[in-house]
Amino acid sequence: MKNLIKLEEAFMLILAIAGLMFFNVPWWGYTLLLLGPDISMLGYLAGNKTGALTYNLFHHKAIAILVLLIGFYMKAETIMITGIILFGHSSLDRMAGYGLKLNEGFSYTHLGRIGKQPL
């Protein structure tokens, strides 16, 4: 089942890349897809709860789709591209096993704990 979910996330990432290609986004837009939303990890400097909140705002697919739809409604290409980047990055993270964060700390996600587990 885990591989099936990773495959699904891979197709969503491909869809996001196709969206960026559709809008003729320059190369640095793809760099933003890879790294941009991870700036939200700076929220962890204010504690686990704030860190989880900021991280989840930038990595929640429903928020990404909402941003895309707002951009579509406003006919604002930049906002649509932002939604695509957020969506694609979230898919990339899910493929790597990083889920939405829980308040216990960065390693605790809705997909399970990440990192080495104590014996």
**Assigned token pair, 115:** 């990192």
Give the span between the Cα atoms of 70 and 109, in whole angstroms: 28
DSSP per-residue codes, 34-63: HHGGGGGGGGGGG-HHHHHHHHHHHH-HHH
The mean pLDDT value for 9-32 works out to: 95
70/32: higher pLDDT: 70
16: nearest Cα among 68, 65, 85, 63: 85
In this prediction, residue 70 has a pLDDT band, given cuts at 50, 70 and 90, of very high
The answer, as to whether pTM is greater than 0.75, is yes
